[in-house]
Amino acid sequence: MISVIQRVSQARVEVQGRAVGEIGPGLLVLVCAERGDVEAQADKLLAKILKLRIFSDEAGKMNRSVQDIRGGLLLVSQFTLAADTSGGNRPSFTNAAAPDEGRRLYEYLVAQARQAHPVVQTGEFAADMKVHLVNDGPVTIPLRVI
């Protein structure tokens, strides 16, 4: 699975003008399941997201996780993370999981996150979403688990 993690002071996702997910301080996580991914990758990704120490401690050092600060998680599906542009200027998305499998793994990740963390919001799978965020830092980290 591929993800892009952004430390945010706030973030929200809108679908057709209505907010479907919103958090204050925490992590906006864009997520893409790739062909061949299974639940083990989702579990590994979630563990890394929850433990990633990218929030400042009292000394200003990145030393706290989203769990440590009791921040929110906003999980948003984004198949375009699997884009392959090696063949030209038009991206190919053949590395992304098929839509049904992508949805299944995304929903699995969300369910696991809700069991492990108190504040979990989401986008809407396969919807045309507008993502609004205030990137804190900015801190943006790409993460791929195999």
- Parse the chain into domains and list their residue ranges: 2-144
* Contact yes or no for 133/6 (Cβ under 8 A): yes
Q: Look over the chain and give the mean of its residue pLDDT values, rounded to a whole number.
A: 97
pLDDT tens figures, 36-81:
999 999 999 999 999 999 999 999 999 999 999 999 999 999 999 9
Place of tokens 């991206």: 91
| Phi, psi for residue 34 in degrees, rounded to 5 | -105, 160
Query: In whole angstroms, what is the distance from residue 138 CA to residue 146 CA?
Result: 26
Q: Is 79 a catalytic residue?
A: yes
pLDDT tens figures, 137-146:
999 999 999 8
Catalytic residue among 6, 79, 121, 122: 79
Q: Is 80 a catalytic residue?
A: yes
Q: Is 140 a catalytic residue?
A: no
Give the per-residue pLDDT at 146: 87
In CATH terms, 2-144 corresponds, of 3.30.70.270, 3.50.80.10, 3.40.50.720, 3.40.50.2300, to: 3.50.80.10
Catalytic residue among 16, 80, 93, 94: 80
Give 19's strand partners. Answer: 14
What is the per-residue DSSP string for 38-87?
A: -HHHHHHHHHHHHH---EE-TTS-EEE-HHHHT-EEEEEE-GGGG-B-TT
pTM of the model as a whole: 0.96
